[in-house]
A and B are shown apart, each in its own frame.
Chain A
Amino acid sequence: MRPALVWLAAALLLLPLLPLIPWAFARGWFFPDLLPSRWSLAAWDYALSPAGGLLPALGVTTLIAALAATVSLALALPAARALGQRSFPGKGAMMLLVLAPVLVPGLAVTMGLQGLMTRAELTGTLAGVTLVHLIPVLPYATLLLAALFSGLDPDEEAQARSLGASPAAAFARVTLPALSPGLAAAWALGFLVSWSQYAPTLVAGAGQVQTLPLLLFAFLSSGRHDIAGAIGLVYLVPGLLVLALASRTLGRGLGASR
């Protein structure tokens, strides 16, 4: 029953993506054919060539997403700890404030930041794009970690302190290991959020930082569905990986709770 549910969820998520495959491997695909009449790897040849730019874009996107996820975790940890483990006046308002960047369209924020970024000579740089990606990534990371922290017993860390651990050692030896599965999930979520950014990258990157979504959109808007299909398949990989890992842990979790 439960594996069936997981499979159903996977099918619902994956079926809409299927047309990408014929596009990526077709040599012409015209109405009313159900499948392309001829197959080829020409789209891949082009996408992987220097002119196609798939490989550099893949590298840049991965680097930015990994950086954004890592930096946001480091920044989110102290805030999430306070939100998750302490009660203080105005906590609800603080939660809302943390969530605000997700509620406000990222493009608007980026546009607003552009002047500042140009003055700081960050526009068009990898660092600039990473920084802008933190705007949507950080709220997710903070709220997810806050939920993790609220599930921890603060006495566990207190016990470590009483046994002789410095604050840093207690955090590293006791709190971090307890958080580690959640940290991995938060990192993956942050990676995916950064991975899928389009408009902020466009504005902050000023055409100098070419990520996969930008490349994908460029080929789509110029009508090259075959190349877009090939890039689209590559673009899906991290999401599918996370889905596979999540369904495994989820399956295990469901199994354990029986």
Chain B
Amino acid sequence: MSRLELEGLSHGYGETPVLQGLTLAAEAGALTALLGPSGCGKSTALRIAAGLLAPASGTVRIGGRDVTRIPPERRGAVMVFQSPHLFPKMSVAENVGFGLRMRRRPAAETARQVAAMLERTGLEGLGARRPAELSGGQAQRAALARALVLEPQVLLLDEPLSSLDAGLRSGMRALIRELQRETGTTTLVVTHDQAEAAALASHVALMLGGRIAQEGPPEEIYARPVSAEVARFFGAETFLPGHGRGTSFSSPVGPLALSAPAIGPGTLTIRPEAIRPGAGQNTLSARLVEAEFLGTATRLQLDVSGTILTALWRPAEAAGLSPGDIVQIHLPAENLWRLPSA
């Protein structure tokens, strides 16, 4: 296991800059998620880490060694693409053994390792098949097996779940987590889905505008975003500008009690599921603008003296409410987060 470090990476396609000084480390033996909206450059960063793309500037280090100019086949990082890219003319077993053959390992050893890896990924008995005869989930597992059988220093996964149906995702997610834990392979996963990143990784780096906007444990980014952009990406929709006076904050919806003192102008944010029905701390009277039933939750647009707050309640909590109703809500002080930047 080796630490992967990307330092000050810049890259552009033509006139458009994609990466602007991206710095990120994936700790040795850990699973790190690189999260960002589509087109933010996270796949570009992964390709640079894999050596498939040369950065305009910056350094890639694996286990402390500068590999920026080392070709992909000799840098100890193996990338698994978004679509499995199994080689169609080879059998599944030949696909999984491809990298070992390229490393000129003895045939008997290769066969043994391939068989073990096929079994580990739930593909036993499918080694003789052609890739075209596999289901989408099996193909994705074969692609993962093909990379892991090499025991790479660093494993790079590009959107490993996005080509799968929703039903197969949790199984694949569990397999990735299990294999990563068993092998202790330093792993960097790229994804655009914040829930997927949170479920997979203990350390998440959110990438916005070509650089890392915030990184840390997913719970922390969730609860304490450093900026409105980060908060928005993680699903926050309510932002209240105002002025802190100690543990009280004057906002467009009235004075709000804070759990930690704040002085001066700033912006408060609160997650939709943290806005609760009924009376409590920071009780407000709101007019229901719209209620949207989403299955496991109901999304409410609430008007408090001209400011719209978005709340996410259990359907039972929102039952019987219709637009125009006046409802009592409260904003628990510990869930009001003051953004460090404006």
Residues of B within 8 A of A33 (CB): none
Q: How far is the CA of A167 from the CA of B98 in the complex (A)?
A: 14
Q: Of A5-13, A92-100, A173-181, A236-244, which stretch is located at the interface?
A: A173-181
Decide if B79 touches A162 in the complex (CB within 8 Å).
yes
Decide if A163 touches B89 in the complex (CB within 8 Å).
no
Decide if A169 touches B85 in the complex (CB within 8 Å).
no
Chain A 14-54 near chain B by CB (<8 Å), digits 1 or 0: 00000000000000000000000000000000000000000
B71 sits at the interface (CB 8 A): yes
Residues of B within 8 A of A155 (CB): 81, 83, 85
Task: Name A149-177 residues within 8 Å CB distance of B.
Answer: 153, 155-156, 158-167, 169, 173-174, 177
Residues of A within 8 A of B78 (CB): 162-164
Residues of B within 8 A of A161 (CB): 51-52, 71-73
Partner of B87, one of A156, A158, A167, A169: A156
Q: Chain B, interface size: which category? A: 20 to 34
Decide if B81 touches A160 in the complex (CB within 8 Å).
no
Residues of B within 8 A of A177 (CB): 87, 89
Decide if B87 touches A174 in the complex (CB within 8 Å).
yes
Smallest CB separation, B139 vs chain A (Å): 13
B88 sits at the interface (CB 8 A): yes
Q: Chain A, interface size: which category? A: 10 to 19
Decide if A159 touches B88 in the complex (CB within 8 Å).
no
Q: How far is the CA of A166 from the CA of B101 in the complex (A)?
A: 12
Chain A minimum-CB-distance residue to B95: A163
Chain B 23-47 near chain A by CB (<8 Å), digits 1 or 0: 0000000000000000000000001
Smallest CB separation, B32 vs chain A (Å): 18
Decide if A164 touches B102 in the complex (CB within 8 Å).
yes
Chain A minimum-CB-distance residue to B158: A155
Decide if B147 touches A158 in the complex (CB within 8 Å).
no
Decide if B102 touches A169 in the complex (CB within 8 Å).
yes
Residues of B within 8 A of A158 (CB): 47, 52, 72, 79, 81
Residues of B within 8 A of A153 (CB): 85
Chain B minimum-CB-distance residue to A159: B85
B142 sits at the interface (CB 8 A): no
Residues of A within 8 A of B299 (CB): none
- Contacts known (A160-B98, A164-B102); A178 close to B79, Cβ less than 8 A: no
Residues of A within 8 A of B99 (CB): 163-164
Q: How far is the CA of A166 from the CA of B98 in the complex (A)?
A: 12
Q: How far is the CA of A174 from the CA of B94 in the complex (A)?
A: 12
Decide if B102 touches A178 in the complex (CB within 8 Å).
no
Smallest CB separation, A256 vs chain B (Å): 12
B18 sits at the interface (CB 8 A): no
Interface centre among A153, A165, A177 (most CB of B within 10 A): A165
Q: How far is the CA of A160 from the CA of B147 in the complex (A)?
A: 10
B150 sits at the interface (CB 8 A): yes
Chain B 68-85 near chain A by CB (<8 Å), digits 1 or 0: 000111000111010101
B50 sits at the interface (CB 8 A): yes
Partner of A178, one of B72, B88, B103: B88
Known contacts A165-B102, A166-B73; 18 additional CB pairs below 8 A are: A153-B85, A155-B81, A155-B85, A158-B81, A159-B79, A162-B51, A162-B72, A162-B73, A162-B78, A163-B98, A163-B102, A164-B98, A164-B99, A164-B102, A165-B98, A167-B71, A174-B87, A177-B89
Can you offer 5 A-B residue contacts whose CB atoms are under 8 A?
Answer: A163-B73, A163-B150, A164-B103, A166-B71, A166-B102
